[in-house]
Structure 1
């Protein structure tokens, strides 16, 4: 790409730093020396993508391969997308400003189903055909989706999808790419790799995925390896949404019933104290960060993190290093006795970290679970009041409490495949937000309309590709940002595509075509009558209207 036209474009867009290279720890390799050239494109803007541990980790791991060149791209904001279209410039990578279409492989990183229309936006900006069947040459298109529930709605647009722990799967896929230049042979090799889903090797059926060839497995298991922690990351020019060192401290176990159902993990797997402390010290030296986010799923307590926290506190004064631990899980489905035990456990964890000098506590709650109790707001406020009292007792100060609210979205293969209503979400969110803000708590939550729209996408089969394309053509982009979510546009487009988000998305006995994508289809809460718990959707809490 020639420099002058692009430089002229950058002078007329907001925050041009999103679209230029040169950050600390960015990797530059000679193009001609690489045998495999990869571009990682995050399906959101620069500030969000640079806060993604997956984006940072995959970039570093692939560039650690001597034969691989890996560069970055991001979804451009609306003004930049319009500007490069008007100038007839393709979407490019930051490091070399080369068009995406010149690479051997494009890895698109998605964190949620709401970003699916962004994939089509990036493909269109790159000058590539949207559907995989129309791309006879050029780069292979790979969805990197460790956390999304269902990749099937964009199965027609990608050549492969990496499920679970994607670093190992990405390396194996690049090994296959290095071994062959024939696209069909590459697809065949990719089909045999663990954690790699190749949609074109499976038929579109209403009941399960059906292999089209003998080498396609009946089930694709998500990879669960816990790789070495990231020890170097790119330090962005602009302030990222999470502007600190990123360390994966804990990971979902993948084996418990909640993991299989796409919900909160019951027993997260933690890194060792030695790995955590070493990762902090190495990133401190390589990046200069003094704040570190120990990332992981919501955890029941901090027992597994306290040894590392104490080791780091003994070495670094409170004003030289800050740790942000994973949020503490507050389960709203427990009976009264279990809730009291949970509250005591949370208090012990909070007391332990306050004793080390950290007075910020994050709680994680989930609204909309069919087993949720009626006194949701009262229970959350009760825990917050206890944390305030604890802070005053220990240091005569009130701790900073932040509550992150997620919303129950039943995995498509479970018996809870009924969406909460928009009206219920609005009322429940409003009550919780009002009570917590009155108590001085910072609350983060998504708009109810965005939750309902994302649920509608998460339940689609491969035939949902037409719906994703319809959403993209209607302009449903950059909608992960709360202040930008165009609910009217989304809902009108969904209904025009034959999906009414206000109606049940699945019924008892429904067998979805994605049930073999890393899901235990024999789980007792698959969409069939359960002899132990019965239909969970027919025994809702009194607080959740049907």
Structure 2
């Protein structure tokens, strides 16, 4: 990776070594599983399910689970140029060396990225082409509930909850390997496991999804903690699984039934685990609809009391408007640490259309009240989320969306004392399998684009920020959501033409997709833009999610009649199928599961007493500030592969380690408190730091040597503290004190470079460089190239003897000369003057370490 990491953007995507990462000896593993996410690291590391499976599998000593993510385009190019296979993060083993490659499918536009990852590992793309010794490719996730479009590429689909089934799948692999049978024997064994669909063996039988009731005590403190900032950079606590709101467009609300929830006591315990084991600054209560959590009113205040001393913020990402209005103190409570923004999802602009989609609880007065409460509580912004192109939508519905937005903006600006931002985000409706709207057509792209243009114009007039999803992406999502197995040839052709990372707008090649459909004889509009008859066969009819198709048909008809269906969480059972109450015990008995257990409570209308929730205590609604009582200065190292951390990633890693070590760090005041932790000078990405300086201020005193010991127990060996001492609280900050930076620069050379060695070993050459009145270097500043004279920065350059196969220099640079230039760049320009080649060529070969920072008054 030393040849690749210096040349890619965001190298921390590929370095691994995260806190809580597990690296096992493959020689001792009977089953090796690569947990693969068909998107970049920052997307995949935000997925809770992958973290859960990683822990469950590695808990078994005979199983080894490692992770792989899709490389960005620059890394892919280098991997192909240098013929390096795609490897796992933990050990660097090729995906081809694993028994199983398990893909998590969260969205349809990841299909070609999945194929690209297989190709980068040298694994045949189509399952029928794989032979003895090739890994088995398995897949799960919500997208797998219509498995047919990619059935040609997947050996096994796991439908539903994976916590128990993944162990059974791996145990079958272990038994199969012990007998030495052909690949077909393992496929046959898998086909007998509840929830497993083997496309190659399917004979028309119904495949029932797998539902887990026991989660086997997941330790949220053992979750992986990334170095780089990821999309959801926080620890997510799964407090509920499933949803009974019955929004007719929402696939998750149907495929994840029944509703299972945790108690307040369990959530408090899991949160304690998470904050002590990960050091995250934010905790999120994960669910499809957090307002349905029975114990929510009992939970928020004590949870915030627990989080507040460590300045850990709480996020409720799926909070509904009516819950926010019912308990206005919730906004104040979760804003006691940080106030950022709320998201409100009315989905549709008018009350009529909200009733069509079964989201009628969002009347406009509730929306206005929620905005008012957020603004009064000091929040900075509110984001409205709508869908366009919903069944029966008219221009009147769009006009209502504009009217509600205008009025909300007026209310927010009038109520907020600090300024308030309102953003509207829209996506285009995509019909999804296993929902009441699976029979409805997606509106044509030109109509959706006209609606977006209308909203852009009107919201600009209202001075409201507007964001939208590209209609081409939504169209392809609908095609892949609703298609059958014939789509496999178009997906393969799209990949061959160059499609990958399709979920990233800048990489979506819609023209190539249209070419792929044309070449394979598939009409995508006939899939996405065609309404379906209620009695016609659907490509996913052989998948049983536990919700009856007849119930979905009734819901479709009620939508067209503008009639709602009550939430069975607080109302009588809606008879959606065998999977929910009151038939849950019968259904569970059929699949051999126990209903009782401490991990999850199966929700039913009998366990909720409407109107009985207690009021949240409105006490201590303030953020406590504790003045620092001690400042400690410490020296630390950042070496090895962790030299590729950016300064922000380094600071986050140190801050989380301090929190894991339970050090009482002091925080800044204001709406977004930060730990009082500062390094002397930012290290450039790729530069080692041998003796870096930093200060930390504490709200409770501690012996410096104890701080070093405790923090080092929460850090990787490549990032650790060397020593520490106390300095006065009134001491000036470190950065202005630094007057000189000392670097060790090395250039690896092979045995054929004797002529270069002779040239570089001369101190006279270094002196000749330094005798120049100016050394102009061209660098990029704010997207433009500028010339900088680096001669005033250079204090000394000394040629050293060779160390191993590398030639080394000591480079001393002064600070305080305006625009500084990285030592890589300076040395690359000096080498260019003496040796053949371009600057970027030499820059990529150099290895740089900062060996010391010299402060004012030091020798």
TM-score, scaled relative to structure 2: 0.55
Asked whether 1:135 is paired with 2:159, we answer no
Partner in structure 1 of residue 223 of structure 2: 233
Tell me what 2:346 maps to.
330
Alignment gaps of 5+ in structure 2: 321-344, 564-859
Q: Which residue, 119, 122, 126 being the options, matches 2:121?
A: 126
List per-residue Cα deviations over 1:107-126 (Å, max 9, x = no partner): 11221111111121111111
Structure with bigger RCO (C-alpha 8 Å, 6+ apart): 1
Query: Which protein is richer in strand relative to its size?
Result: 2
Counterpart position of 2:302: 311
Q: Distance in 2 between matches of 1:152 and 1:381?
A: 40
Indicate the residue corresponding to 2:540 in structure 1: 514
Q: How many Å separate the matches in 2 of 1:307 and 1:393?
A: 32
**Aligned CA distance change for structure 1 residues 366 and 434 (closer, same or farther; 3 Å):** same
After alignment, is 341-350 or 490-499 more displaced?
Answer: 341-350
- How far the C-alpha of 1:362 sits from its partner, in A, is 4.7
Does residue 493 (structure 1) correspond to residue 516 (structure 2)? The answer is yes
1:393-414 deviations in Å (ceiling 9; x for gaps):
7763455555553432223465
Q: Secondary structure at the match of 1:96?
A: coil
Do structure 1's residue 92 and structure 2's residue 87 form an aligned pair? yes
Alignment match, 1:410: 431
Looking at structure 2, the residues matched to 305 and 397 of structure 1 have their Cα atoms a distance apart, in angstroms, of 29
- Cα–Cα, structure 1 residues 80 and 466, in superposed 2: closer, same or farther, change >3 Å? same
8 Å CA contact retained: 1:366, 1:407: yes
SS of 1:282's equivalent in the other structure is: helix
Which of 242, 248, 252 is equivalent to 1:252? 242
Answer yes or no: is 1:178 the counterpart of 2:179: no
- Pair 1:259–1:266, CA change in 2 (3 A): farther
- 1:112 equivalent in structure 2: 107
Shift of 1:233: 2.2
| CA–CA distance in structure 2, aligned partners of residues 179 and 343 of structure 1 | 59
Secondary structure of 1:7 counterpart:
coil
In terms of Rg, which structure is larger? 2
Q: Which of 269, 274, 278 does residue 283 from structure 1 map onto?
A: 274
Deviations along 1:185-222, one digit per CA (max 9) or x if unpaired, are 3222221222221111215xxxxxx14xxxxxx23224
**Equivalent pair of 2:243/2:253 in contact (CA under 8 Å):** no
Does residue 156 of the first structure (1) align with residue 187 of the second (2)?
A: no
Contact kept? 1:40, 1:71, Cα under 8 Å: yes
CA distance in structure 2 between the partners assigned to 1:7 and 1:186 by the alignment: 39
Please state how far the C-alpha of 1:141 moved relative to its aligned partner: 0.9
Superposed CA offset, 1:14-62 (max 9, x none): 3222222212221112222222211111100111111222222222222
- 389, 401, 417: which one aligns with 1:396: 417
How many residues are matched? 519
Q: Structure 1's 24 and 534: CA in aligned 2 closer, same or farther, altered over 3 A? A: closer
Structure 1 stretch 63-72 or stretch 409-418: which is displaced more? Answer: 409-418
Instruction: Tell me which of 165, 170, 179 is aligned to 1:169.
Output: 165
Residue deviations 1:113-161, cap 9 Å, x none? 1111112111111111111122122321111223455221111111111
User: CA–CA distance in 1 between the matches of 2:230 and 2:353?
Assistant: 41
What corresponds to 1:215 in structure 2?
none
CA shift, 1:424, in A, is 1.6
Query: In structure 1, how many angstroms separate the alpha carbons of the residues matched to 2:469 and 2:257?
Result: 24
Query: Matched residues in 2 for 1:531 and 1:341: separation?
Result: 19
The 8 Å contact of residues 222 and 518 in structure 1, kept in 2 or not, is answered as no
SS in 1 for 2:92: coil
SS in 1 for 2:439: coil
Q: Are the equivalent residues in 1 in contact too, given 2:494–2:513 (CA < 8 A)? A: yes
- Tell me if the contact between 1:244 and 1:289 (Cα under 8 Å) persists in the aligned partners: yes
